[in-house]
Amino acid sequence: MRISGSEAYEGGYGIEEGIEFARAFEPYIDLIHVSTGNYDVDEVFTVTHPSMFLEEGVNVRYAAAVKRRVNIPVATVGSLGDPGQMEEIIASGRADVVESARSLIADPDLPNKAREGRQDDIRPCLRCLNCFSVLLPTGFYTCSVNPEQGYDIELRSAAAKPRKQRVLIIGGGPAGMQAALTCARRGHEVVLCEKSPRLGGALRCEENVPFKRRVGAYLDYMERQISRAPVEVLLNMPVTPEIAGAMNADVIIAALGGKPASPPIPGLGSPGVVLASEAYADASLVGATAVILGGGLAGTELGIYLASLGRDVDILEMTGGINDGGNFLHVKALNVEIKKYGVRMHFNTRADAISPPRVEAEDTQARAKRVFEADTVINALGTQPLQEEALAFYDRAAQFHIIGDCRSARNMERAVSNAFHVARDIGAY
Ligand SMILES: Cc1cc2nc3c(=O)[nH]c(=O)nc-3n(C[C@H](O)[C@H](O)[C@H](O)COP(=O)(O)OP(=O)(O)OC[C@H]3O[C@@H](n4cnc5c(N)ncnc54)[C@H](O)[C@@H]3O)c2cc1C
Ligand SMILES: Cc1cc2nc3c(=O)[nH]c(=O)nc-3n(C[C@H](O)[C@H](O)[C@H](O)COP(=O)(O)O)c2cc1C
Ligand code: SF4
């Protein structure tokens, strides 16, 4: 039987009542599975399914409290994916069974790899909640890091044994790395070129952000997998069409990513405006007060990060809510943090002109002019695909593909999935 040990919100039942339930059911059941929260209460939905803002194993304490008062086996669940931690929970007697949902979606082989002592081969879950956000409207789910999830039927039939191809991949972000791994596992000869000194792409800018630590862990995992695969990696290697042509590849995959979007707002390009990626990478660029232009996931998470560092933050978003890109459950977690840190969200508010430290805007519902002033103005208005740059490579090999953000700037799930499926088909016909 599964219960919440505590509903963990004001007005819900607490752990003492949860223990009473457990004891009442005990004579009739074999095992009690102790979850937490309440599915229908927004502020704790992301405690039941712990968000990226919560620590690993955040709900084990409720299972442990129940276990102390019953005599049947107790299972615990919630943000568990580290085999060492799972082992410790059992060894210390806090629970008899550890359960995992999303860590097994991210890597269904987690238990096998743990048994073999291959912890650093486990693909980490980001706790991004993309899976569940896809599931509710569609009935099936995909995963940001496991490109096979959701394609079980398509992948059931093995892909035809490929003709071996020499594949040049340009760009070492999530899309380029996934394409390189899939091509190498299919037996192709693979060269992966990255213009910067490091693989990882756009998301490396978030490495200092505590609640994005799992993204860093995933990029490190991918980098490790590539280092163990037959992939030739060339770093500090900005590829031009001329260089690409000289590399005599059978297939070119362009995975160049994107650049910051620059809608025609007067003053947006002025030197005082900091890019979101710059602010993520170095928060010292941001003064005591900040106005963030753009309330998408990247802008809103940046606001939360800066507010957690003590900055006073206003976020201007032109639409009527956080632009969630489909991940509406993660927004429940963002709302908890927005409230916690007092980030001010201004929806239906369009920035019209910028002259740092001043931003002139319009409240499009009230049809009223608004002026915001802050030490730092930040552009988090999204990403524009480097599509033209990518197309410049199209005639430098017999076969050419564009993947990831340079095809359409979306998110990691789209980039990784696109890369996997394109790479899997290479040489298969
Ligand atoms: C600030 C910010 C926060 C984000 N947060 C999230 C998030 O939390 N979750 C999420 O799912 N998505 C997030 N995204 C989106 C996500 O980063 C992208 O969807 C993803 O990185 C796309 O991967 P990619 O490999 O296509 O491109 P990129 O990650 O941009 O990688 C492209 C790579 O190509 C290299 N390159 C470009 N041109 C050349 C060349 N000529 N030669 C060699 N190398 C070249 C670049 O240096 C770069 O490393 C965020 C984006 C930004 C900007
Ligand atoms: C895609 C998805 C579907 C889920 N469906 C159910 C469900 O039908 N019933 C249920 O009790 N829990 C469901 N859960 C919750 C999980 O059982 C688990 O309690 C929760 O995700 C926390 O564990 P985790 O951090 O290991 O993901 C679901 C979780 C996910 C991610
Ligand atoms: S979609 Fe995100 S939360 Fe869900 S399993 Fe994949 S990485 Fe984890």
- Give the C-alpha distances (Å, rounded to integers) separating 272 from 240, 360, 362, 385: 31, 15, 21, 24
* Residue 320 structural domain: 273-381
Closest-lying ligand to the alpha carbon of 141?
2
What span, in angstroms and rounded, lies between the C-alpha atoms of 255 and 277? 19
- The CATH number assigned to the domain holding 397 equals 3.40.50.720
Looking at the structure, tell me whether residues 402 and 356 fall in a common domain. Answer: no
Number of the ligand 3 atom closest to the C-alpha atom of 132: 4
How far apart are the CA of 131 and the centre of ligand 3, in A? 5
What span, in angstroms and rounded, lies between the C-alpha atoms of 143 and 379? 28
How far apart are the CA of 49 and the centre of ligand 2, in A? 7
Looking at the structure, tell me whether residues 187 and 255 fall in a common domain. Answer: yes
Within-domain flag for 364: yes
How far apart are the CA of 283 and the centre of ligand 2, in A? 35
Given 100, 115, 130, which residue is the final one in a domain? Answer: 100
Given 381, 399, 417, which residue is the final one in a domain? Answer: 381
What span, in angstroms and rounded, lies between the C-alpha atoms of 253 and 272? 36
What span, in angstroms and rounded, lies between the C-alpha atoms of 326 and 136? 11
What span, in angstroms and rounded, lies between the C-alpha atoms of 369 and 167? 54
How far apart are the CA of 290 and the centre of ligand 3, in A? 31
Closest-lying ligand to the alpha carbon of 128?
3
How far apart are the CA of 143 and the centre of ligand 3, in A? 5
Tokens encoding 309: 């560092």
**Atom 6, ligand 3: residue with shortest CA distance:** 143
- For residue 168, the cross-strand partners are 191, 252
Our answer on whether the CB atom of 416 is closer than 6 Å to any ligand 3 atom is no
Testing ligand 1's pocket by substitution, the residue of 218, 411, 414 carrying the most ligand atoms inside 8 A of its CB is 411
Given 79, 100, 121, which residue is the final one in a domain? Answer: 100
Looking at the structure, tell me whether residues 338 and 412 fall in a common domain. Answer: no
- The CATH number assigned to the domain holding 301 equals 3.50.50.60
Looking at the structure, tell me whether residues 52 and 10 fall in a common domain. Answer: yes
For residue range 346-360, what is the model confidence (pLDDT) as tens digits?
A: 999 999 999 999 999
Within-domain flag for 158: no
Q: Where are the alpha helices (DSSP H) in 49-82?
A: 60-67
Q: Which of 237, 162, 173 is nearest to 399 (CA)?
A: 162
Within-domain flag for 397: yes
Number of the ligand 3 atom closest to the C-alpha atom of 141: 1
Within-domain flag for 159: no
Looking at the structure, tell me whether residues 242 and 214 fall in a common domain. Answer: yes
Looking at the structure, tell me whether residues 169 and 90 fall in a common domain. Answer: no
Q: Give CA angle at 220 (218, 226), nearest 5°.
A: 105
Our answer on whether the CB atom of 144 is closer than 6 Å to any ligand 3 atom is yes
Looking at the structure, tell me whether residues 283 and 377 fall in a common domain. Answer: yes
**Atom 8, ligand 3: residue with shortest CA distance:** 125
Pairing of strands 358-363, 368-373: antiparallel
Contacts of 117 (CB under 8 A, 6+ apart): none
Our answer on whether the CB atom of 348 is closer than 6 Å to any ligand 1 atom is no
What span, in angstroms and rounded, lies between the C-alpha atoms of 67 and 53? 26
Residues contacting ligand 2 via CB (< 6 Å): 2, 35, 49-50, 77-80, 100-103, 131-132, 135, 141
Our answer on whether the CB atom of 193 is closer than 6 Å to any ligand 1 atom is yes
Looking at the structure, tell me whether residues 244 and 320 fall in a common domain. Answer: no
* Residues 58 and 30: beta-carbon distance below 8 Å: no
Within-domain flag for 21: yes
Q: Reading across the β-sheet that carries 289-293, which strands appear in turn?
A: 273-275, 376-379, 289-293, 312-316, 344-346
Contacts of 366 (CB under 8 A, 6+ apart): none
Place of tokens 């410790």: 88
Our answer on whether the CB atom of 314 is closer than 6 Å to any ligand 1 atom is no
Number of the ligand 3 atom closest to the C-alpha atom of 129: 3
Within-domain flag for 286: yes
* Residues 53 and 333: beta-carbon distance below 8 Å: yes
The pTM assigned to this predicted structure is 0.97
Looking at the structure, tell me whether residues 277 and 377 fall in a common domain. Answer: yes
Q: What is the pLDDT of residue 157?
A: 76
How far apart are the CA of 326 and the centre of ligand 2, in A? 19
What span, in angstroms and rounded, lies between the C-alpha atoms of 52 and 130? 12
- Give the C-alpha distances (Å, rounded to integers) separating 398 from 231, 269, 393, 395, 421: 21, 39, 11, 7, 19
- Series of mean pLDDT values for 10-residue runs along the chain (429 residues): 97 98 98 97 97 98 98 98 98 98 98 97 98 96 96 80 96 98 97 98 97 98 98 98 98 98 95 96 98 98 98 98 95 98 98 96 97 97 97 98 97 97 92
Domains: count for the chain: 3
How far apart are the CA of 258 and the centre of ligand 1, in A? 7
The DSSP output letter for 270 is S
Within-domain flag for 140: no
Within-domain flag for 241: yes
Number of the ligand 1 atom closest to the C-alpha atom of 239: 42
Tokens encoding 107: 């890597």
Number of the ligand 1 atom closest to the C-alpha atom of 403: 26
Number of the ligand 2 atom closest to the C-alpha atom of 99: 26
Number of the ligand 1 atom closest to the C-alpha atom of 302: 1
Looking at the structure, tell me whether residues 409 and 375 fall in a common domain. Answer: no
Number of the ligand 3 atom closest to the C-alpha atom of 218: 7
Tokens encoding 59: 């709900």
What span, in angstroms and rounded, lies between the C-alpha atoms of 34 and 77? 7
How far apart are the CA of 328 and the centre of ligand 3, in A? 14
Looking at the structure, tell me whether residues 362 and 417 fall in a common domain. Answer: no
Looking at the structure, tell me whether residues 311 and 235 fall in a common domain. Answer: no
Our answer on whether the CB atom of 302 is closer than 6 Å to any ligand 1 atom is no
